[in-house]
Amino acid sequence: MTGSTCWSIRRTLGATLLLAGATAVAGVAQGHPHGAMPQHHQMPDTAMMAGPHHLLAMAYRDNLANFARVLQAEVTRSKAVAVELARPAAAEMRRSFDQMRSHHEAQMAMPGPNRATMTGMTTDQMKARLAALDEQVAALGKAVGAGGPETAKVVEITAAILKHCEGMIK
């Protein structure tokens, strides 16, 4: 198979995987043992946004934001924190954040001259946003792990999490 044929297949797969969702993307990502493409099949910098690590990172970001929205909406609606919802939601948000960060780091470790992040932010800006998001996810876990989580605190933290997630796509 020639290099251009291989690239054409990868591009087609990338577009298909966008539509198929994160489950399908995981299968493609497993096709390369270390998440990086061999040097002779290196993706152009403009194609980084269609790479499996970027797609997975964004899917995990969306998952994190969805759980934050659900938790925030329910706490706002009921004016109380149901720990049977809040604790599993916070745990899933932690898992999603960790996976998002892992795939972001793998994407940035891929060979190529462009080390800018996929969102147009500098690497330092992305690191700062990830650190701030990490702090908020940890604060939420601590808040809902307490005996009687404060409604206002949970709403405040989930709003901050959503703000950081939205900032990653602008």
Give per-residue pLDDT as tens, 72-114: 999 999 999 999 999 999 999 999 999 999 998 888 888 764 4
Nearest to 71, CA basis, from 91, 95, 101: 91
- Global pTM exceeds 0.85: no
Nearest to 36, CA basis, from 130, 100, 106, 84: 106
Contact 127, 116 (CB under 8 A): no
**Domain ranges, residue 15:** 3-167
> 55: which residues sit within 8 A by CB, 6+ positions away?
14, 17, 18, 22, 25
pLDDT in tens, 31-83: 433 344 334 334 444 445 568 988 999 999 999 999 999 999 999 999 999 99
Domains of the chain: total? 1
Rounded Cα gap, residues 38 and 63, in angstroms: 30
CA-atom Rg of the chain in angstroms = 18
